[in-house]
Amino acid sequence: GENVEQHPSTLSVQEGDSAVIKCTYSDSASNYFPWYKQELGKGPQLIIDIRSNVGEKKDQRIAVTLNKTAKHFSLHITETQPEDSAVYFCAAKTSYDKVIFGPGTSLSVIP
């Protein structure tokens, strides 16, 4: 079945440094890749997404890259701030509209 893997499971960075989270997916028909941020006690919130016809997308301090051949996609956060601390989930949407999530990365930004 469909599967999304995510690494690392935990990540600790100094404020101002960059953070990178990497994901792989198994369903080659997947064509939409959202990234969600989840704070304690809240539902996941979309922070950026990328579609299969695009290799890279940037929104201020956040960027995503997609390599469809290798079935890899990554989230890059630059100039990290303490408020970036949260759990981040990558996901892949299959051709049947099912959204499969990775296991999550707990990011801590140390002031």
Partner 1 sequence: GAGVSQTPSNKVTEKGKYVELRCDPISGHTALYWYRQSLGQGPEFLIYFQGTGAADDSGLPNDRFFAVRPEGSVSTLKIQRTERGDSAVYLCASSLFGVNTEAFFGQGTRLTVV
What's the closest the beta carbon of residue 5 comes to partner 1, in angstroms? 10
Select the residue interacting with partner 1 from 14, 43, 83, 111 (CB under 8 A).
Answer: 43
Roughly how many angstroms between the first and final C-alpha of the chain, as a whole number?
A: 41
Select the residue interacting with partner 1 from 25, 35, 36, 73 (CB under 8 A).
Answer: 36
Select the residue interacting with partner 1 from 51, 56, 79, 82 (CB under 8 A).
Answer: 51
Exposure string for 83-95, b = 16+ CB within 10 A, e = fewer = ebbbbbbbbbbbe
11, β-bridge pairs? 107
What's the closest the beta carbon of residue 13 comes to partner 1, in angstroms? 20
Strands 56-59 and 45-51: unpaired
89 touching partner 1, by CB under 8 A:
yes
Which ranges of 65-105 does DSSP label H, i.e. alpha helix?
A: none
18 touching partner 1, by CB under 8 A:
no
100 touching partner 1, by CB under 8 A:
yes
Please report which helix (H) or strand (E) contains residue 73, including its range: strand 72-77
Residues that bind partner 1 (CB under 8 A): 1, 4, 6, 31-32, 34, 36, 41-46, 49, 51, 89, 93, 95-104
